[in-house]
Structures are given as structure tokens and as C-alpha cells.
Amino acid sequence: MSGVRIAAGQDAQVWVHDGPRLLADLDHGPGLAVHRRRSAERRPWPASGAQLAELLEAIDLRGRGGAAFPLSRKVRTALKSRGRPIVVVNAAEGEPASSKDSALMMVKPHLVLDGAQLVALGIGSDTIHVVVPGERPAVQKAVRAALAERADADRVPMTLHVAECRFVAGESSAVLELLAGRPNLPVTTSRPSAISGLGGRPTVLSNAETYAQAAVLARDGVDTYCSLGTHAEPGTRLLTIDGDGERPTVLEVPHGTRLAPLLAAADADADSGLLLGGYHGTWLPPEAVVDLTVSATAMLDAGAAIGAGVMLPLRAGTCPVRRTAVVVGYLAGESANRCGPCKFGLPALAHALRDLAIGAVRSSERVVQLMDAVERRGACHHPDGTTRSIRSLLRAFPLEVDAHLSGSCLAAATVAVPAGAW
């Protein structure tokens, strides 16, 4: 499979495979001229915001940052709310295990920026903010270059912002705080940003991939867009597959594609399970992965959420209990330390889970008690995402958990987490 190797990861090279749309023709490079030649035949974009919303609804385009909120609804809400709308492209990607937005911004930045222009023009916005991750300098450089290339041609001015280097920096309320000149941390919001966001103006904020999908829709039209994927979930989706360090991979696949062969193509396997959806994701046991397809509904049926498309497979011989303890330790350190239950509860939870993993306790009671104590008690969903991975661990791996509670481990290799592992 052809592709490119780029510095899109937080501290790793990432393999980006050629894909059917967003990641097509990677060998042509990220430049504006070649991009314009390819999209020269672009169809006229709908004149009105209402038509834009209809088109987005026709392909059921949902946010690709994890929350899966329909973009058409954000557009409609912004249109009927008071004030001139603002568009925000969120490529902050604070999760170290995810690289798909960073990769997209490096290999096909103009697709994302076209999409942002199209949405901004549709809703009558005069401002586009583009937010890139602080801990990935190569992405900042690529987007800066892309913006400079097209500055004269764009009808809506675009401004680049660099998020802080932390997990929660890409959370939507944290992004709006950054844009408002305040610390880049999540806050309690009383109203959706599409009604009242930045400076009280209606703000359409979505993930970088979402805008690229909108640009593809504009270029190809609804029928062609729907020629890939399934009837219920048309089009494609970006995934990040990271199977313990050797070869973190970003790829684009049509909805409905079987996951297992994709893992193999990324030099990974899920013989010990799969943490689906990233660090805030859901553990699936190996048998649940065999026939799994890339589909939000299929994954919901399996008890998981596709989130931002991060797949963290666990190789044979590695232990999901220990791995979760490591991930939760990291997540506890990534609390913004603003909300009490998160600030105090997550470190306590990480400690309790570590005790379980090293066989120091005989019951998971304390872990469960602490999960109950932190859930739904914060400005953002960082505590909820953290407990999601632990609750799914207890559900998917009861035998493995029991082994740890009796001081042993079922995994063949009980060595520490390998170097370079997620």
C-alpha cells in the first residue's frame, strides 16, 4: 500500500496510507496549485445557508472529533441565532493516540480549508479560526504555509491559533476559551456555541476532518459522495491505528469496511483486545473485533463509540489491565485541575487502578466507588471518558481483572509496557 511517512504524531512518525478521497493522490503533495487543478471541476456551492444545511443533511455529515453531532444542525442553529457567525476548524487533536487530523492538515490542508470557506460563505461568516496542536510543530508549519499560499484568494480571512500542549486543549469549550484569549481549558457552558459562542456570536466549531468531508461533498455532489460507504453511513472516515509503536498509521476507509484487515495492514493485531475510540474509548475483547466493521452503528451495537476514529489494538501477550492503568495514570495527569472531582478524583482513581493492576488489592470496589464519584461532575467529559475505559475493561476482561485481584496476570508477557507503546 502506498503512502507517506510524516511527523504528524506527538513524538512519532506516522504512516499515512493513500485513501479514496481525503487521502487521495498523496504523491501530489500538499500544495495549492495541484489541489486547485484537482478540484477545478467543483460544482457551484449552494447560494444559501439553508441549501448548505440540506446538502450536509443529505449525507448525514457528523462531527469527526468524537461527539458525532450533525453539522447540518450546527449550521441551521447558527443561521437562526443572533449575530454574525464564526467558523472554527478544530485540528487541536490533544489526544496523543490520535494523528488523523494532524496528518490531514499536513498532507491535504487545502481540502480542510476549502471546507471551512464553503461553510463560512454558506452561513455568512466573516471569520475563520484554525486551531492546531501545540505539541506537533510540523502541523503548525504545514498549516501556516498552506494559509500563506491561499491568503489572497480566500473570501473569508483565516487566522491560525496554536493550542496548548495538553490532552483537554482540543475540547470544544477549551478551544473557544483559547480563541477568547483565556487559558486553553474546558469551561462550563450553558448554551451551545452554535447559538452563542465566541464573543456571544453563533459559532460553528467542528473537527478538521468534518470540513474536509464537506469540501469533498461540494466537489463531488451528493450522489458521488454516497457512492462509497453504506446506505446508513455514506462516505469515508479517517482512522488512526496504533498498535504499540512500530507503525502508527492513518488511513481513510469507506464506512462498512472490515476492521481486522486494516489492523493487519497497520502491522497490528487485536489478539489481546482493542481500545476503540482512544484513551477515552471502550475496550472490546478480541472476539468482538473479528467481524467488526468501521461504522458508528456497528460499533454502538458492540457497546463502543467510534469517537475520533482511534483504534488501539493490543497484541497477543500484552495485558489490558496493566495498559489501562498506564493510560488512566496519564489521563489523571492531564486534568486541567479546575474541577474538584476531576482534580482529586482522577489521581485517586489512577492510584486505585494501579493497585489493582499490581495485585495489591483483592477487590475492585474502590475503583468502582471512585468512578461513581467523578462521573458527570465536571465542566467537560474528561472524567467520564476516563471511567469509560475502566468500566469497559471490567466488562470486557472479567477473567483478566480477577487474575490481577488474586495477584497474577493472564498475559504471557508480564513485562512493563513496551517502549514506544501507546
Which residues of this chain interact with another protein, rule CB under 8 A? 185-188, 336, 338-342, 344-345, 373, 377-379
Least distance to another protein from the beta carbon of 343, Å? Answer: 8
Work out the end-to-end distance of the chain between its first and last CA atoms, rounded to an integer number of angstroms.
Answer: 23
Beta carbon nearer to another protein, 122 or 186? 186
3-state secondary structure of 162: strand
What does the alpha-carbon distance between residue 208 and residue 283 come to, in Å, rounded to a whole number? 26
Least distance to another protein from the beta carbon of 167, Å? Answer: 16
Looking at residue 417, the DSSP 8-state letter turns out to be: P
Beta carbon nearer to another protein, 67 or 373? 373
Beta carbon nearer to another protein, 10 or 193? 193
Beta carbon nearer to another protein, 113 or 185? 185
Least distance to another protein from the beta carbon of 379, Å? Answer: 5
What does the alpha-carbon distance between residue 201 and residue 204 come to, in Å, rounded to a whole number? 10
3-state secondary structure of 146: helix
Beta carbon nearer to another protein, 177 or 242? 177
The b-or-e profile of 331-355 (16+ CB within 10 A means b, else e) is bbebbbebbebbbebbbbbbbbbbe
Least distance to another protein from the beta carbon of 312, Å? Answer: 29
| Helix/strand number for the chain, H first, E second | 16, 11
Least distance to another protein from the beta carbon of 380, Å? Answer: 9
Least distance to another protein from the beta carbon of 339, Å? Answer: 4
Cβ-based neighbours of 100, under 8 Å, separated by 6 or more: 93, 209, 238, 239, 240, 250, 308, 309, 310
Least distance to another protein from the beta carbon of 179, Å? Answer: 18
Beta carbon nearer to another protein, 96 or 186? 186
Backbone angles phi, psi at 48, to 5 degrees: -110, 155
CB atoms within 10 A of CB 46: 17
Beta carbon nearer to another protein, 109 or 186? 186
